[in-house]
Amino acid sequence: MSVMTNVVKTKFSIKDLESLSGIKAHTIRIWEKRYNLLEPIRTETNIRTYALSDLQKLLNVVFLLKNNYKISKIAQNSSKEIANIVAEIVANKGFSNESHAINSFKISMMNFDQNLFYKTFNSLLETNNFGKIFYEVFVPLLQEIGLLWQTDTINPSHEHFIFNLIKQKILTNIEKMQRTVSPLHDKTYALFLPENEIHELGLLFLNYEIVARGHKVIYLGQSIMLENLKYLSINHPNLSFVTYFTVQPLLEEIPQYFEDFNSIFGDQQLDLYVLGAQTAHLNETTTPTNVKIMMSIREFVNTIQKKQLKYA
């Protein structure tokens, strides 16, 4: 795992550019030779290194290629002219597919450009609701960012920047949903993350989805000790818990975690819904019957909708 640092990455290898843009290194080299598209600095051992401006230009080129521009025509323009063409397309057409928006968000992340983030998001809102944007744009974007971070292609500073902007949008839309949707059911879901777990974007979006379906949510947030959950069951008789296992607890500690959860509530046997990366390693047949392993947010939403119909 990468070591957290505040140093912003400003130099990239050709492999980094390939990872971020989806364009093969071989193709990038051809474009350099044929069109002078990028101008890398070469080390004494003739290894290419690229600036942040090269990455931005390449991502803009990919955007234009997906809008049916030919590389020979694109290469006739300066970096600024290419960026202006991209901006004009976004202003006039919005995003014709999700990959274009993801590319724009990646440019925003690499340049720490919150205005581009807002412009991209607002363009998406013109033809999509927030739920669709999250599932079809933010989820694949976050998956890409996770891979880029693990391979040191991006710096944790980039990750934190884009995560916080997405978090702002989720919180804004939760507030909107709370103002417009009144609780229609007596079921309450308490959302929390285990101790030392801080990855809360998925949990926040679950908050949005549960409120949208007319349930009450008690959002507890990051790094909650199990013993602090006991009080909730006293005043909320129809209560279930929802959590995310991204990096905590460790795999070998999960069985004990479930045992500790159930010991806190004694004979109540309250449901505990578990999502997150760690669920890929869990087998529901070997977990307590009140523990529900959910492989995705959509699976969880479908599950609570079926329960609504059952008890309606």
Q: What average pLDDT does range 239-263 have in this prediction?
A: 91
Is the pLDDT at 79 greater than 80? The verdict is yes
Q: What are the tokens at 109? A: 């992340």
Supply φ then ψ for residue 116, to 5 degrees.
-65, -40
**Rounded-to-integer distance, Cα 168 and Cα 186, Å:** 28
**Rounded-to-integer distance, Cα 173 and Cα 182, Å:** 15
For the 11-173 domain, the top CATH level (class) is mainly alpha
CA distances from 62 to 59, 67, 156 (A): 5, 9, 24
pLDDT in tens, 175-206: 998 888 777 777 899 999 999 888 888 999 99
Q: What are the tokens at 99? A: 């990959």
pLDDT for res 96: 54
Is the pLDDT at 76 greater than 90? The verdict is yes
Helix (H) or strand (E) holding 42: strand 41-42
Q: Range(s) for CATH 3.40.50.280 in the chain? A: 181-311
- Tokens 């392993």 correspond to 293
Omega prior to 183 cis, within 30 of 0: no
**Rounded-to-integer distance, Cα 119 and Cα 97, Å:** 16
Is the pLDDT at 105 greater than 80? The verdict is yes
Q: Range(s) for CATH 1.10.1660.10 in the chain? A: 11-173
pTM over 0.75: no
3-state secondary structure of 242: strand
Assigned CATH topology for domain 181-311? Rossmann fold (3.40.50)
**Rounded-to-integer distance, Cα 10 and Cα 214, Å:** 46
Q: Is the dihedral of CA 125, 128, 129, 130 positive or negative?
A: negative
Largest CA distance in the chain: 72
